Structure 1
Amino acid sequence: MSTAEHDAWGSEDVSSGKGAGDENFPVGSLLISRDQRPNVHAYYDFARVIDDIVDSTKLDPQAKIDRLNAMEGVVRGTVAAPARPDAQTAVKVREMFARTGVPVETATDLIVAFRQDAVKNRYETWDELLEYCRYSANPVGRFLLELHGEGPETAGPSDALCTALQVINHLQDCADDLRALDRCYLPREWMEREGAKVEDLYGPFALPALRRVFDAMLDGVDVLNDEAARLPALVHDRRMRMECAVIVGLSKRLAARLRREDPLAGRVKLSRGDVLAAMGGALRVIRR
């Protein structure tokens, strides 16, 4: 490994300590077949590491980009990986892609988004936010579907579902993202239209103008969830079809909660009842 390659990795530990249990939705849940779960977990571990890199408060923007570039190089097989846990997640995901034949872009597209996060902290329009989600979220769904041998007809509804989940996450974390990272994903165009300011996110509750922005974004999420509802019927693998149906139901329920609850007043999250109801709804869907 050259000196330049070694320097790109840096020495700072940027792990957030988060795991699958910290996500809105189960990663590699029991609905995923046992033989595929290690592949899903390899992908998740890699995604968590690169997410931690870009969200680190210990690294400056260029250091984040250098480390992300090094991770991409390992995935593509052009950079040697040091014997450290973060770099080894890239080795494992590269090996997984070679073994399964899933396109490597389902991982490297995530890095496109995270490099953007390193230098960009405001979004002008809804369309600009959707373009970001194309790289930050949609590859996850495409990875899972490719892993299960699903066809190209699933891509559109899957992208809609992943984008909906990403926007929901932005709404859940809007205050924390601003405080910790000076990052705001709420479209500036809509903020100005409603008379809201980014500084309103520091408040203990959403003012009416900010609430209207939240609701406009949820209107967009509802459209995406309607498109996502087509996904389960297009999936051939029974367990994956059930997984998709459950997640579509959870996405709709979490969007509804964000309509009723205030993400500035506290974390808006799914209840156990939401999960059970989504599973029941999924069973009805796949039996049709």
Structure 2
Amino acid sequence: MNAVSKAVDPVWGERDVTSGKGASDENFPVGSLLFARTNRAHVSAYYNFARVIDDMVDNAQLSAEAKIARLRGMEAVIRGEAEAPQRADAQTAVILRRHLLQTGVPLETATDLITAFCQDAVKNRYQDWEELLGYCRFSANPVGRFLLLLHGERAETLPLSDALCSALQVINHLQDVTSDLKTLDRSYLPQDMLAADGAKVEDVLLARSKPGLRHVFNRLLDEVDHLNRQAAQLPGLVRDRRMRAYCAVVVALSHRLAARLRREDPVAGRVKLGRVDVLLALLRGAKALIG
């Protein structure tokens, strides 16, 4: 045994934290063939980076301080302020920076995600809808902005994309409402809504939703429906034909997931899209592609 052990890097720690999660875990078609071939590598670089920083903040073996240190390290690499070790997780930031500089897409579409994930490292409850929307502003909206700006879309599309991405984020919170609390002690259900309906965060650990909790879900879905109505205008404003089709598919998926969450109980089991849902969404995309 060596007398002197190797010091642990205070930013990057000892090991890669990349998980086995992939595109199938998302509510939107990440590696979509609807993207032009010339843009797919850019999208893949962005997705790989987003997946790694998500892995960092959800890693149960890391302390909050260690998570934030790694995330800030990734941010420094994206901004060109630091170098990354020759390791798969850290190198996703190196690769994405290269793609962002090549395409001219703002660095903030990556660093804003880090802002959200640093918040996840230390915050596990949300007081109200506005606070939850503030989280979505950093955790989800940058994804849509990246895709639209990559395709050269106009600024007027961005608020509608924000509405769509926020809707999908809240939908994802509802899908994972039990597993988030069970594995991460994290809940995105607004505390004021729970209190108003006599419900508790811990109710998501029961076999099925109690009436008060179900009402909270429905109130959140009312807000999602409002966002989805705004988002429905997005495809009509997108100029790139492939991106317009992609937006139409994602808008349809968001509407159908929200409808499923109205009918099904996310506490009893994770609510997912069925084959018919996906097929109908793809048909919506095909119509937008032709149009």
Q: TM-score by structure 2 length?
A: 0.96
Question: In the alignment, which of 66, 69, 81 is matched to residue 66 of structure 1?
Answer: 69
Which residue of 42, 52, 56 corresponds with 2:55? 52
Gap change, CA 1:5 and 1:31, over 3 Å in 2? farther
Query: 1: distance between equivalents of 2:108 and 2:70?
Result: 18
**Equivalents in 1 of 2:234, 2:44: separation in Å?**
22
The 1-side partners of 2:285 and 2:88 are apart by: 37
Residue type of the alignment partner of 1:29: S
Which letter does structure 2 place at the counterpart of 1:35?
A: T
1:233 and 2:236 are equivalent in the alignment? yes
Q: Aligned residue for 2:280?
A: 277
Counterpart Cα distance in 1 of 2:203 and 2:24? 30
In structure 1, what is the equivalent of residue 113 of structure 2? 110
Counterpart residue number, 2:209: 206
1:119 to 112, 122, 136: 122
Distance 1:262 1:55 in 2: 24
**8 Å CA contact retained: 1:5, 1:70:** no
1:35-71 residue CA offsets vs partner (Å, 9 max, x unmatched) = 1000000000000000000111010101000000000
- Find the counterpart in structure 1 of residue 223 from structure 2: 220
The residue that corresponds to 1:84 in the other structure is 87
Q: Which runs of 5+ in 2 are unaligned?
A: 1-5
Is the contact between residue 16 and residue 88 of structure 2 (CA under 8 Å) also seen in structure 1?
A: no
Q: CA deviation at 1:7?
A: 2.0
Distance change >3 Å, CA 259–CA 285, structure 1 → 2 = same
Asked if the contact 1:14–1:58 (Cα under 8 Å) also holds between the matched residues in 2, the reply is no
Residues 135-181 of structure 1 show CA distances to partners (whole Å, capped at 9, x for unaligned) of 00000000000000001000110000000000000000010000111
**Tell me, what secondary structure is at the counterpart of 2:94?**
helix
Instruction: Give the equivalent residue in structure 1 for 2:166.
Output: 163
Q: Identity percentage over the alignment? A: 63
- C-alpha contact 1:12 1:58 (8 A) present in aligned 2: no
Over the aligned positions, Cα root-mean-square deviation in angstroms equals 1.4
Q: Relative to structure 1, is the Cα distance of residues 277 and 68 closer, same or farther in structure 2, using a 3 angstrom cutoff?
A: same
Structure 1 segments, 4+ long, off by >4 Å, are 285-288
Establish whether residue 17 from structure 1 lines up as the match of residue 20 from structure 2.
yes
Listed one character per residue, the Cα deviations across residues 198-229 of structure 1 (whole Å, up to 9, x for unaligned) are: 11011011111000000000000000000000
TM (normalized to structure 1)?
0.96
Deviates more, 1:141-150 or 1:24-33: 24-33
Q: For residues 285 and 37 of structure 1, what CA distance do their matches in structure 2 show? A: 20
Structure-1 residue corresponding to 2:155: 152
* Paired residue type of 2:135: Y
Match of 1:175 among 152, 155, 178: 178
Residue of structure 2 in register with 1:268 after alignment:
271
Which residue number corresponds to residue 246 of structure 2?
A: 243
Q: Within 2, Cα distance between the matches of 1:6 and 1:75?
A: 19
The CA deviation at 1:286 is 5.6
Alpha-carbon separation, structure 2, partners of 1:272 and 1:61: 39
Choose which of 124, 141, 145 in structure 2 pairs with 1:142: 145
Aligned residue identity for 1:150: E
Q: Deviations over 1:237-262 (max 9, x none)?
A: 00000000000001000000000001
